[in-house]
Amino acid sequence: PVVEKAKRLAAWTAVDRHVLPEHKVIGIGSGSTVPFVVERIVSQGKAVNKDRVFIPTGFQSKELIVNAKLLLGDVDQYPVIDVTIDGADEVDHDLNAIKGGGACHLREKVLAEAADTFVIVADYRKNSEVLGTNWTQGVPIEVAPFAYAKVLQNLHLIGSPKATLRMAKAKAGPVVSDNGNFIIDAPFPREMMQDPYTLLTRIKMLTGVVEVGLFCHMAKAAYFGNEDGSVLIKW
Ligand code: DER
């Protein structure tokens, strides 16, 4: 399908550009686009990959690395990462991103921050001018289970009356992250999404919030695969 080809295109282009032989510590993101990132890295060959270590951003990411027979590392062993490549739910004109659709944004943000170069790969559906245009389910927020009701109440007060706890589909009860926390999805009005950094700081200050799925001024570039087989690069 067209979207899958677009994901692959974005992933391969980004890997070819940013994962070079001198890059030895690589952060691998989460979601449905990063498998194409791993696929392209594997295609670079055993000789270059035997000297590399790959840091996961969660269980799915770890399984991708292990199944590809790449060397697995941990961010506490490798606090400085050469390049992290990850997906996103939406990216605005300033390279700010909504992440957390896959409930992995805490570890994703740690590895994005730890990387010299953080690059986003996505299909054309994620490319917007303003966050919240296409991704309408809200800003993903990882919260301590103990505090989720209080965080919900405070989100309602600061501008997201429709904020909700993310419920699981294949399990009774809420989604639980790889860190044992809950996720709240908080939609905000367009004018608040036009200043994602201010919004990020306001949400982050709410007691009980562990991490916010707004990645502001972090990505060096974003690669979007288009329906027509072209790639758009924002940087
Ligand atoms: O949760 C995330 O931020 C993931 O990176 C994910 O949302 C990326 O989306 P994808 O499955 O379309 O790559």
Handedness of CA 8, 9, 11, 15 (dihedral sign): positive
181 ligand 1 Cβ < 6 A? no
CB 108 within 8 A of CB 67: no
pLDDT per position as a tens digit, 200-219: 999 999 999 999 999 999 99
Kindly give, in sequence order, each residue whose CB lies less than 8 Å from that of residue 17, ignoring residues fewer than 6 positions away.
Answer: 223
99 ligand 1 Cβ < 6 A? yes
142 ligand 1 Cβ < 6 A? no
d(CA 212, CA 176): 15
140 ligand 1 Cβ < 6 A? no
Please say if 108 is a catalytic residue.
yes
Which atom of ligand 1 lies closest to the CA of 32? Answer: 11
In the prediction, which pLDDT does 36 show?
98
Q: Which ranges of the chain have pLDDT less than 50?
A: none
d(CA 63, CA 72): 10
In the prediction, which pLDDT does 78 show?
96
In the prediction, which pLDDT does 111 show?
98
Residue minimizing CA distance to atom 2 of ligand 1: 100
Query: Which of the residues 108, 113, 142, 227 is marked catalytic?
Result: 108
Model pTM? Answer: 0.98
- CA distances, 234 to each of 44, 55, 124 (Å): 25, 25, 12
Is the complex ipTM higher than 0.95? yes
In the prediction, which pLDDT does 68 show?
98
In the prediction, which pLDDT does 69 show?
98
